[in-house]
Amino acid sequence: MSATIPMFGVPSWVRAAARCGFPIESAFQEAGVELDVNKPHVGMVTADALLRAIEVCVKHSTTHYFPLALGEAYVFDRFPQVEAFLATSPTMREAIEALPWIRAMQLPWLWVSLEETDTEAAIVVTLDPELARRTEAPFVIEIVLAACRKFAKAMLGRSLALFSQPLHAVQFQRARPDNAALFQDFFPCHVQFGAPRNALVFPKAMLDVPLQGALPSIHGQARQAIVRELEASKPHFAATEAVRQAFEGQPELLKGGLDEAAESMGIHARTLQRRLQAEGFKFADLQAQAKYARARQMLSKKAISMEIISIELGFSDRRAFTYAFKRWSGISPSTYRARVLQSPVTALRHP
């Protein structure tokens, strides 16, 4: 993973390191992260260097667990317009629209999606297949879920009092770690390891509760500023993000191949393939990730049959879909559906 991204959230790293009891400078040096405040993006780092930095910070932490500390301390220092968009959103559902922008600006290996059942909603985090295989991958998941919880809590404010249990569960696919008690202390809810997904699970009604911080005029200005920033900066992973947005906006492309996706984007297939390769991504991996996200969303709806899901995703039959889903998640789609539709609150009462 040699492609580079702008080093993000340096002030957040500094605050998290201070809370965890070590100097961030020595950790960056050990990880090979070099910063230059005279550059527009402070510094460019590879995914490898970023993961090493997280691992080094975890190793040096003495007073707190670094991934949770970084997630809780995170601010959009380079993109204040994103923070303004979140803070002035009329509802949580609209605030979630910022997730693709955040991915495009900072974390191209990250896929965050919203999944809903009849009574619950979940913010689900998945990683690019190559990154997901890394030993540091759980740290990234923990940082993101901690940050999502922080921003949701800040946006909801006193509206949290409307719910007897604002956060139903936090789910991690990783096995139960030795420091599991730290997670239970940090998240005020049921913490589940060995789960079918990485997610924050909360009442579905929370998505549409009017937020007291809503400022329509500022919210609209922030949206326009973000769009202008993306157009002007031409993110380092523009082609990758364009493909992902094409899959999200046109699910029928999940049935096709590179040629169909390129045609929908108005470019030649070879040009798209070349751009993706330059950014360190493969079309097949992006499509598989999009299919996995779409499959999870449909599996959360009990009324949608396995046969319909298989057809929607372009598989020849249910058996082919089941095989692919097991490869993506480690469990069958029917098992995933059963575990997701079982309320975490019920699971808490019956471990």
| Residue pLDDT, tens place only, 12-58 | 999 999 999 999 999 999 988 876 555 545 566 777 888 999 999 99
Average pLDDT for 187-209: 94
The answer to whether residues 192 and 158 touch, using CB atoms and an 8 Å cutoff, is: no
Helices (H) and strands (E) in the chain, counts: 19, 7
pLDDT at 147 over 60: yes
CB atoms within 10 A of CB 46: 16
The SS3 call for residue 22 is coil
Residue among 321, 272, 265 nearest 292 (CA): 321
Distance CA 125, CA 110 (A): 7
pLDDT exceeds cutoff 70 at 327: yes
* Fold assignment, 238-341: Arc Repressor Mutant, subunit A (1.10.10)
Which residue shows structure tokens 């950790």? Answer: 27
d(CA 101, CA 94): 13
For residue 259, the model assigns a pLDDT of 95
pLDDT of residue 19: 96
pLDDT at position 347 over 60: no
> What tokens were used for 223?
């949206």
pLDDT confidence of residue 136: 93
Q: Could you read off the pLDDT of 204-244 as tens digits, one per residue?
A: 999 999 998 899 999 999 999 988 877 776 666 788 888 98
- Could you tell me if 49 and 30 are in contact, meaning their C-beta atoms sit under 8 angstroms apart? no
Partnered with residue 171 across adjacent β-strands are 192, 199
Q: Tell me, what's the pLDDT at 121?
A: 93
pLDDT value for 218: 93
pLDDT at 236: 66
Residue ranges, comma separated, of all CATH 1.10.10.60 domains in the chain are: 238-341
Residue 144 pLDDT > 60:
yes
Burial 291-301 (b: 16+ CB within 10 A, else e): bbbbbbbbbbe
198: which DSSP letter?
A: -
pLDDT tens column, 261-307: 999 999 999 999 999 988 888 899 999 999 999 999 999 888 999 99
pLDDT in tens, 105-143: 777 788 888 999 889 999 999 988 778 888 999 999 999
